[in-house]
Structure 1
């Protein structure tokens, strides 16, 4: 009986996540409510709240699924994204992949951002995905440029993803220009080493 309940819970979780993902493909983020997700997933609203706690929790989990693949590539994948490349090359590759992730999931990122910013007591800087990305970016900057404030520069680079002109580009699926801009900034930053 317990196995069946676990299987049902796992199926419900996947149905809820897929329904949210599909709704975000077709509708602006502000139109994707817990009620709509529950209806599309064929579960009760209470099931969504029980599993994810809130709309913020649902968006956070869906975004976390997207981020896990990137984190695995960073930890174990081939260079330049994974270990073995110089910090500059790794940072350029990472920011390009983040831009691509944003373009493929523009409405999800917008919904996630909105959910986090409207939740009481939530700050972007406390989000586990942001914390992980910031740690990686600031670590690479510190490795290649120990003479600068790596933590602050990492906030500046990642913060651009939340600026409306950039977020608009990402929602439109345009990431190449952002990736090229990131690459120029990183190359300029690393060129300044020692001089």
Structure 2
């Protein structure tokens, strides 16, 4: 059966909801303060519309994240296509891209990572996408052990709740977090396993 195209008004409502949720999470002091009522009011739709369209709060948050991922998918493709990039450099770039996304969207991502929102944050589509790309890159790094587990462990090091705590409570700067991540990757993989640049701080 051919899927019917989305009605123009339904599409407008969807975009309004996603934009409202994105703006509310960005402006909030805590991801827990943003409710479905707040999002519905900001988008100018009924609360029932949100639940019918997205299922629950976790589904809505996942849809907002999905709407933000396309530029990142393009950036990741550029990492893979970059001429001369070693597997180790690809791992660092992938982590750096993810960290910068967490820094810019830490309230939204903290809400997504909250285990209370779904059965497991590790089953979310966006997490699976990041893990698969990172696992694939790690599998090509000489001497890297158990790429599947290592990808999970490296992503745990940049959870949004940790990023938010380090930025907001410990007053770290984004630049210092990126440098610390590069150094941590050196600790995990060992210096000199691929690109000859021990500090790995050339990620952009």
Q: Does TM-score exceed 0.5, indicating one fold?
A: yes
The secondary structure found in structure 1 opposite 2:131 is helix
Task: Judging by fraction of residues, say which structure has more helix.
Answer: 1
Tell me the TM-score normalised to structure 1 length: 0.84
More moved, 124-133 vs 8-17: 124-133
Q: Distance in 1 between matches of 2:43 and 2:7?
A: 17
Counterpart among 136, 139, 163 of residue 139 in structure 1 = 136
Count of equivalent residues: 185
Q: Distance in 1 between matches of 2:113 and 2:167?
A: 13
Question: Residues 55, 173 of structure 1: CA spacing in aligned structure 2 closer, same or farther, 3 A cutoff?
Answer: farther
Q: Distance in 2 between matches of 1:93 and 1:8?
A: 40
Q: Distance in 2 between matches of 1:90 and 1:165?
A: 23
Q: What residue ranges of structure 1 are gaps of 5+ in the alignment?
A: none
Q: Distance in 2 between matches of 1:163 and 1:64?
A: 16
Question: Residues 50, 30 of structure 1: CA spacing in aligned structure 2 closer, same or farther, 3 A cutoff?
Answer: same
Give yes or no for contact 1:141–1:150 (8 Å, CA) kept in 2: yes
Tell me the TM-score normalised to structure 2 length: 0.80
Give the alignment's Cα RMSD to 1 decimal.
2.4
Shift of 1:174: 3.9
Counterpart among 20, 32, 35 of residue 33 in structure 1 = 35
After superposition, where does 1:9-158 map in structure 2 within 5 Å?
Answer: 9-27=10-28, 28-75=30-77, 77=78, 81-84=79-82, 85-114=85-114, 117-119=115-117, 122-145=119-142, 147-158=144-155
Shift of 1:19: 0.8
Shift of 1:164: 4.5
| 1:98-137: CA deviation from partner (whole Å, max 9, x where unpaired) | 11111111111112222xx1145x2122111111111111
After superposition, where does 1:168-183 map in structure 2 within 5 Å?
Answer: 168-169=165-166, 174-183=173-182
Q: What residue ranges of structure 2 are gaps of 5+ in the alignment?
A: 195-204
Which contiguous aligned blocks of 4+ residues in structure 1 show a shift greater than 6 angstroms?
none
More moved, 163-172 vs 7-16: 163-172
